[in-house]
Every structure is written in C-alpha cells, then in structure tokens.
Structure 1
Amino acid sequence: MTLEQFLDRFDGPERSVVVVNRSDPDPILNMLVDTFGDDAVRVVEGRVVEGPDDPDAGGAGDDDRLTDGAGAPRLDRTGGLTARELATNAVIDGEGDAVPSLDVEVLRRHEDVPFDGGDPSDIENLVLLMEGDEVVAGSTLGELGDAVLFVNSDLYITGSRSLADVELPSVISGLDDATFTLRGYPESNRQKLLLITISRFIERVAWTAGDGTLRSSFQRLSRIDDEVGTRDVYERVADTGVDTHLYGVPDELPQDLAAVIHAGNDPDFTDSWFVVYRPPEGPHPARSDPESDLVRGVEGGVGLLAVETEPRVWRGLWTFDADRVSRINRYIERNL
C-alpha cells in the first residue's frame, strides 16, 4: 500500500467559502478562487451589520430577522448556525431597496462557530466557511489576507515570518478533516500556500511543545538547506528536544542537523507532503482549551497529509483527530 492508497481510506465533509459584502471586487475574488479553487468560492453581494437594533445598521428591529416561523430568532438550535439564522432581510439601502445582510453579532454569540475579527463596524468583508447551509467558521477578509491571501511563499522560505507569528484564521482552521485538491504553479500561484501555512503551523506546534515526535517530508531533501527559513525552522524544532524525522529523495543530505534522515526514491518519498506532530503520550483529544488550535495540537497532536496525484495537483487533508493522526504517524513510521 502507498500513501496515496492510504489517503483513499479517509473521507471528509465538503466545504465552501462564501464572501459577503465584497468591496474589492475582482482582485480579492481572484485571490480566493486561486487559493481555494473555482468550485469552493461563492460571493454574496450584501453588507455586514452590527445588529437589527443598531440605528446605524439600517435595520428595523428584531422582527426583521429570519425566524423559526413563530417570530423568534432561531439562535438556540444545537446543530450549528445556518445561513438563514445569520441573515437579516430588512436592511434598506439609500435607494429604499432591501439588501441581503449578515448580522456579525449573531456569529459572535454562537459558541459553536469559531470567528475571528475586529469591531463589527470595521468589518467590510466577511468570509464564511460553509458546510451545506451551515456556517462552520467566519473570518474577516483582513485576517484571512494576513495569513494566506496577501502573502507569498517567500515569506516562509526566507524565514521572514517566524514560527511564533504563524496563526490560522478560523476559516483555515475550519478546513480540518475536509479533503481538498490544490494546484501548484503554474496552474495556481497561491493554492500551495495553504499547504505551506498549515505545515508551518504544525511545525510551530512541535516547537512550542518541545517534545514528542515530528515527521516531515520534503520530496527532495536538498530543499532543507536551499530554503533558509526551512533550515532555521528545523534547527529550532530539533534543538528543543523534539524527535525530528525528515523524509525525501536523497539528492543532497542536510548537514549538521539534529534530525533522523529517511531517504528513498519510491512514490511515498517523491509524491507525498506530510507534516505530523505526535505528542509523547500519543495523539488524544485536547481538553484544557479546545478553542485554541495551538493547544489542541500541542496536547493532542496534529497532522497534514497530501499526495501529488498528478503533476502539480495535490489531494489531501489535515486533522486534529487523534485516530487519524495515529494512523498517519504509524504508517510513516512503519513504511518509510
């Protein structure tokens, strides 16, 4: 069995990205499509409001919110937040027309939906992660832009963005366990940046933990010394005491690095991209702060697995799930 066949055993939910009140039309939309794929991005022209009772929001009161049919806002369901529950339908523009709107305060109050952003009055563009009609997570376009949209891979390759600065916006964090297909250059300039960002986050988890095991593949081992930022990351991780294992084609072996090198030329080495952190006691659900991705990873483990199924096309997933992290780690440990 290969890593590609192993990956076929995992499935995950299909999720899409919705942009609300897009004030920067084509460039932003093109970045999102180029980052998440044509089929994953939808745009809803509308506006974000602070709440139906806010006089500056243009709303007409609680009766204007989409309700459960009995006149009460549907905010108490246990199955998650739907797009209808988040919407208001009586925001009036300057010409007297109703404008589709989302009340960001509803998103903030719903404990099941992670959201990052600033003051509601400062939010011009809101990016929602959807699973069917359910809102899984929300981020402002600014938060998402700082992480993946307005940066390029050189930020990580050169080490300009340090490990301590790597954060996952809620929309990216909410993609865990969702299978993805991403394109590399020249088909896309940006989609692989998601893989790079998640990889750096997992490396930050290992660095923060200071123990446990980190397994990372590079396709070509020469990349470790060719990329200053990558070399620096793995020196810092290994120096903390993390049991560090590096995998790839032995075109040029890294020197003076406190890591175990695993070299090979079969497809698991040439076509895979994985970064897997296993805590000393093994992967398990994090309990102390389940809302913190960093704590979840440090305490319970986290892993990314992607396979190049055809030239410059990557299929994979990343996960905090203890069983999946264990299975991925065990396969790598036994077979590579």
Structure 2
Amino acid sequence: MAESLRSFFDELESPERHLVLLNRSSPDPVRKLLDSLLDGQPVSISETADPASDDDVVALVENGSIVARSTLDELLESVLLINSDLYKTGAIGLDEVALPAVLEGLDEVPFQVRGYPASNKEKLLLIIVSRVIERIAAEHGEGTLRASFQRLSRIDDERGTRSVYERVAGTGVDVHVYGVGDVESLSTLPITVHTGTSYPYRCSWFVVFTPPDGTDGDHVALLALEDEPNVWDAFWTFRPDLVTRIERYIAERI
C-alpha cells in the first residue's frame, strides 16, 4: 500500500518526450499560445520542416520516434483558444470534450501548473483531462468514479460541473466525491459524498475512473496536489495497475 498520495509520483515511468511543430505556417501569436500551455514543463517544443508532412502538424516524439500527431487546429479548438469558464458554465458539453492525441500522450509526465492569475492556460490542461475522464466514465455507464473538489460547494457553484455529475451518476457509474464543506446541497444527487478536513480533502485534486473488476475497459486517473497556494504538482495516467492502486488508496485511506 502506498504511504500517501504524494508517493504515487515516485512511480511515474515517463520517458523523455517533446513536441515538434512541423511546417509551421501559422503566425507567431499561435506559436506563443502553444508555448504558454507548456511553459516551465519538462516538455520542450521545437519546429522543423518536413516535406512528408502536412503544414501545422504537432508531433509527439519519444525516444526519437513520433508516437502521436495532432493538427494545430485541433489544439487551438480544444485547448489553446478555450477559457476554463466554458467548462464551469457548461457551455462545452461533456460529449464535446476532447484531448488531442499529442497531449493525451503526455501521460505520466510530471507537470507543475499555476492557476489564474499567474497563468491563464496551465491549469486548463488539468481541467480538460478531468472532463475527459468524466466523459469516459459516462460512456462506460458502469464502474467507479472518484473525484475531489477541495470545496464541495464548487459542484453547485459551477453549473457545468453539477450537470456533468448528474449525468455520470445517472448512467449507473458509482460516483464518489470528496471535499470540505456542507453536503446537504448534494443530497439530491445519486452520489456518495465524503467530507473531511485532512490534507487529501483540502489539497488534492483527483479524478479516477476504474471499470468493474474483471471487465475490459479504460483505466484513467488524474492526480494533482497543491502544496503551495495555486501551484499544482500533477500527472495523469492510463496504466491500469497504477490507476487501480490510486483508486484503492482513495477508497481505503481517504
């Protein structure tokens, strides 16, 4: 059994990865948007010309080989031109949430992200990954979803978030939410609410989905810890054994 949520960071198996922008024809401001998303992260971005590729394609390179590609338009439409308020208000529906392949491929990369006003973009990536996990859970319609909010009131304060959890729980997924605060306003939701004031309730942000035991399906987890105000150490993973152990730790220890 892991000693803490923090100890899962020691198990990351991320090889060196970087992004390459192929045949850029987009203007400099677009490149700056991409840079701002990964500013300060262990993922560099370079440019090169490739006669065999289309213009404005972003490639994810691992150990010298391209392992994923996304168009720059995909990144613009799903991340770079998006404001987090669109998720909070529900303007972006759960079925519309998408994570481009080159960002999905950054699983188990240890990120450190800042929230607003220090950064307009860094935390957005974690918000999108969270929504993708919630979408996966809704699509399965079974299994277990565990999510922490720090403040439980956020579920009511953010119309889009409450709508998502109404939908996911309504599909038959066993939904558990964690946080500090009053649980009464959530009594109408078909979810299990866990409340407390210890470190995991105050300082963690996790969204973890596991399918039913013995069935094939997606295992996916986001784990982020706020050890200083508005700064998050985070990663996401699709590795079934790691996801399962994170889920078990939360279920048994939090």
TM over 0.5: same fold? yes
* Counterpart secondary structure, 1:306: strand
* Counterpart secondary structure, 1:103: coil
Cα deviation, 1:89-115, whole Å, max 9, x if unaligned, reads xxxxxxxxxxxx2412xxxxxxxxxxx
The alpha-carbon deviation at position 222 of structure 1 amounts to: 0.5
The alpha-carbon deviation at position 251 of structure 1 amounts to: 5.2
* Higher RCO (C-alpha 8 Å, min separation 6): 2
Q: TM-score, structure 1 length as denominator? A: 0.70
Matches within 5 A, 1:1-336: 1-38=3-40, 40-46=43-49, 101-104=50-53, 120=54, 124-250=55-181, 253-255=184-186, 256-281=188-213, 286=216, 299-336=217-254
CA contact (8 A) 1:160 1:229 kept: yes
Identity score, percent: 49
CA distance in 2, matches of 1:311, 1:261: 25
Unaligned runs of 5+ in 1: 47-100, 105-119, 287-298
Count of aligned pairs between the two proteins: 250
CA distance in 2, matches of 1:201, 1:234: 13
- Structure 1 residues 8 and 211 mapped into 2: Cα distance closer, same or farther (>3 Å)? same
CA distance in 2, matches of 1:309, 1:183: 12
The one-letter code sitting in structure 2 at the alignment partner of 1:135 is I
Cα deviation, 1:258-313, whole Å, max 9, x if unaligned, reads 1111111111111111111111125x7x5xxxxxxxxxxxx132111111232222
The alpha-carbon deviation at position 253 of structure 1 amounts to: 4.8
The one-letter code sitting in structure 1 at the alignment partner of 2:97 is V
CA distance in 2, matches of 1:310, 1:13: 27
CA contact (8 A) 2:19 2:59 kept: yes
The one-letter code sitting in structure 2 at the alignment partner of 1:268 is P
CA distance in 2, matches of 1:278, 1:28: 37
Task: Give the RMSD, CA atoms, in angstroms.
Answer: 1.9
CA distance in 2, matches of 1:251, 1:31: 39
The alpha-carbon deviation at position 33 of structure 1 amounts to: 1.8
The one-letter code sitting in structure 2 at the alignment partner of 1:247 is Y
Cα deviation, 1:206-249, whole Å, max 9, x if unaligned, reads 11111111000111111000000000000011111111000111
The alpha-carbon deviation at position 45 of structure 1 amounts to: 4.8
The one-letter code sitting in structure 1 at the alignment partner of 2:129 is I
The one-letter code sitting in structure 1 at the alignment partner of 2:210 is R
The one-letter code sitting in structure 2 at the alignment partner of 1:161 is I
| Structure number with bigger Rg | 1
Cα deviation, 1:173-195, whole Å, max 9, x if unaligned, reads 21123222222222210111111
CA distance in 1, matches of 2:13, 2:159: 35
Unaligned runs of 5+ in 2: none
The alpha-carbon deviation at position 14 of structure 1 amounts to: 3.2
CA distance in 2, matches of 1:328, 1:9: 11
* Counterpart secondary structure, 1:138: strand
The alpha-carbon deviation at position 131 of structure 1 amounts to: 2.4
CA distance in 1, matches of 2:16, 2:228: 21
The alpha-carbon deviation at position 168 of structure 1 amounts to: 2.1
* Counterpart secondary structure, 2:78: helix
- Structure 1 residues 310 and 26 mapped into 2: Cα distance closer, same or farther (>3 Å)? farther
CA contact (8 A) 1:32 1:41 kept: no
